[in-house]
Structure 1
Amino acid sequence: MSAPSWQKSSYCAEGNNCLSLAATPDRTIRIRESEAPHAVVTTTQSQLVSFISAIKSGTLTKP
């Protein structure tokens, strides 16, 4: 399997504190932060959309 093709967030300025995303052939999405590139979170498109929607709407709650 080839290495993921990481794309930086459009909100990322040059330097650290950047979020990168990569889509994989198995249709999962990988997310990493530039200061810890080996720590990768894997999710699905629907889970990521739900998460972002909850953040935008202010309905994200703590467990």
Structure 2
Amino acid sequence: MSTHDWQKSSYCQEGDACVHVAATAETVHLTESSDLTRAILSTHPDTFATLLRALKKNDD
């Protein structure tokens, strides 16, 4: 992966495909460990926070 400080999702089981997140004050980067292309999705922290709120709301 790139030089970002990546953090593995707490929902990831050992050995499974995992979402990894790296954040700065300006950008949140997301990638998946099973993606052979090593694609990175980058977004604004506010947009990422909106996504997390929506996911948590649908988890209820």
Same fold by TM-score, threshold 0.5 exceeded?
yes
Q: Which structure shows the higher strand fraction?
A: 1
Aligned residues: 56
Give every structure 1 segment of 4 or more consecutive aligned residues whose post-TM-superposition deviation is greater than 2 Å. Answer: 54-58
User: C-alpha root-mean-square deviation of aligned residues, in Å?
Assistant: 2.0
Indicate the structure (1 or 2) with the bigger Cα radius of gyration: 1
Letter in 2 for 1:15: G
Structure 1 unmatched ranges of 5 or more: 59-63
Return the offset for 1:6: 0.7
What percentage of residue pairs aligned between the two structures are identical?
38
Matched with 1:61 is: none
Q: Deviations over 1:11-31 (max 9, x none)?
A: 11111211100014x620100
TM-score, normalised to structure 1's length?
0.72
Letter in 2 for 1:49: A
Structure 2 unmatched ranges of 5 or more: none
Return the offset for 1:51: 1.4
Query: Higher RCO, 1 or 2 (CA under 8 Å, sep at least 6)?
Result: 2
